[in-house]
Structure 1
Amino acid sequence: MAMHHAEKNGKKRKYSDDFLQYRFTSIVTAGIEKTQCFISNKVLSAESMKSNKLKRHFNSKHPIFAGKDTEYFRSKADGVKKARLDTGGKYTNKT
């Protein structure tokens, strides 16, 4: 019996709204869904789309934001998505 391509490569991870608690939103790059930290804008690989890896990134890189309400970050995530739409998917870093 032939295996489907997705079965050969194991479980395909999907973004979950639960990832907002770790300050991640989803981004699609070259047809692959990945997670993006909307504090640092860092994009993690599709293989990193696990709660424990996202939590580790958040706790090690952004502990100052630990007390913030998830709704605050939901609005930040919406802002990141709108910025991607406004710039055609490309970020401009103006500092």
Structure 2
Amino acid sequence: MKYDFAAVDIHHATLGAIIANMESNYQNMVTLKSQLLSDFTGSGATGYQTVMDALGRKLDEYHTSMQSVKGAIAQTASSQGLMKVTDVNNGNRFYAIGG
């Protein structure tokens, strides 16, 4: 198996940029949620708190999933990730046969 590590690094960088944008969007949603919650007062605020609590839980789940994807990408596709380790290990096996 032969890996094109230059292409892997390009895709890793592209996915990293996408995840960074997703993290920025997440932070914007958290900020907006807090701003909206602070702007609501009176009897409507009580019902809104329930909705915002549910939104907060969903945002936390989204963030946890996003961090999991980010970690999996970094572990697998970075130039020193599992792809590199696999490539080196396979090369060492062939070297042992011929060496």
TM-score, normalisation: structure 2:
0.26
Larger radius of gyration: 2
Higher-RCO chain (CA-CA 8 Å, sequence separation at least 6)? 2
Structure whose residues are more often strand by fraction:
1
Structure whose residues are more often helix by fraction:
2
